[in-house]
Amino acid sequence: MIDLHTHTFLSDGVLIPSEFIQRAYAAGYTALAITDHVDPSNMDTVVPKIVETIEALREYLKITVIPGAEITHVPAGLIGKMVERARKLGAKIVVVHGETLAEPVAPGTNRAGIESGADILSHPGLISIEDAMRAKELGVALEITARKGHSISNGHVAKVAMETGASLVINTDAHAPEDLITLERAKIILRAAGIAEEKIDQVLANSKKLVDKIRRN
C-alpha cells in the first residue's frame, strides 16, 4: 500500500511521526507521505519539522517516507504561493485540500489547487469536467479517499476522471492508526467508486509513479 495523504500530531493527527510510520509499516505499507495541514500560521514550523524528523529516522526506516504538506482551507488566491513556499521548505509531495462535500471549502479551491502546481487535489467533491480536464493537462492527480465523509463523492470523482483521462490516486487521509488500510481494502474502495476491475491496478500504479519520480529527483 502506498499512501500519499496522511496526518500526524504536527497538525490534527493523533500520533507522533515515528509511531505513525511504524504502524504503517506494520500494516503492510511500502511508502507514505506525511502531509500535515498547513496555512500561513504554521507552514514555516510544520514542514521543516516533518523534513527534519524523516531525515533523522531515514537510516532506520523500513519503508519509503516522503515529507509533504496539505494546503488546507486557504483562500484560492493564496494557494499558489503556499504551494511554492511548501516546496521551498522541503515538501516533496504537496496536496491541496479540495472542495469536499464534508466541509465548507471556498468555491474556486479546486481550480486554484490544480493551477498551483500541486501534486494531488484531495477529495475534490463535485469537481467539474473543466477542472478535471485542466488537472489532466497539468499532471495533477485527483484523489479517491478512504476517509469517511470526504468519500461520499468518490463515485463522481472517479466518473469525471475516467471521462477526462485525469490521473487518479487512492489515499486514506489518515489521522489515526485505525484509518490505515490494506491494499485489498484500497481495491474494494476503488471498485465501490465505480472503477472497472481492469483499471484498478493502473490507479494503484499512479501512486508508485509519483514516489518513483520523487526518488529520481
Q: What is the pLDDT of residues 73-109, one digit of tens each?
A: 999 999 999 999 999 999 999 999 999 999 999 999 9
- Residue range(s) defining the domain that contains residue 116: 2-216
pLDDT of 98 reads: 98
What cell numbers appear for 139 in the block? 499532471
Angle value at C-alpha 35, between 34 and 40, nearest 5 degrees = 140
Give yes or no for residue 4 having a pLDDT over 90: yes
CA distance 86 to 94: 7
Tell me how many domains the chain contains.
1
Q: Which CATH number belongs to the domain containing residue 208 in this structure?
A: 3.20.20.140
- Look at residue 17 and give its three-state secondary structure: helix
**Nearest one of 107, 106, 110, 113 to 84, comparing CA atoms:** 113
- Look at residue 10 and give its three-state secondary structure: coil
CA distance 136 to 128: 12
pLDDT single digits (tens) 119-177:
999 999 999 999 999 999 999 999 999 999 999 999 999 999 999 999 999 999 999 99
> Which residues, 6 or more positions from 163, have their beta carbon under 8 angstroms from its beta carbon?
129, 132
CA distance 145 to 156: 12
Instruction: Please indicate whether residue 217 or residue 44 has the higher confidence score (pLDDT).
Output: 44
